[in-house]
Amino acid sequence: MSTDCIADRLAKLRSLREKLCNKEKNWNEAFQASDWIVDQLNHLRKMTTDNAVTSDDLRSRIDDILCVLDPSDGTGGNDV
């Protein structure tokens, strides 16, 4: 085999490794985001069973979650 052929194959292998690492990173970030959302929803559910929590407290918590999920919405949520 020529040196150029080996160099080309090694370059392709490095490229494949980089792509796989990037995909793994993306999946890891997606799973972390999913876990965060589940944690937030569980906390929100607990808040709904606490008589000391007001609707303003709930709305504020929802606005905080929406602010993270949709930062382009400057209001933090939609008032209905």
Q: What distances in angstroms separate CA 29 from CA 26, 34, 68, 78, one per listed residue?
A: 5, 9, 14, 27
Which residues constitute the domain of residue 50?
3-69
In this structure, is residue 54 part of a structural domain? yes
The number of distinct structural domains making up the chain is 1
pLDDT digit string, tens, across residues 52-67: 999 999 999 999 999 9
pLDDT digit string, tens, across residues 14-42: 898 888 888 888 888 888 988 999 999 99
pLDDT band at 1, cuts 50/70/90? Answer: low
In this prediction the pTM is: 0.64
For residue 75, what pLDDT is reported?
A: 57
In this structure, is residue 75 part of a structural domain? no
Kindly state the tokens that stand for 6.
């080996």
In this structure, is residue 41 part of a structural domain? yes
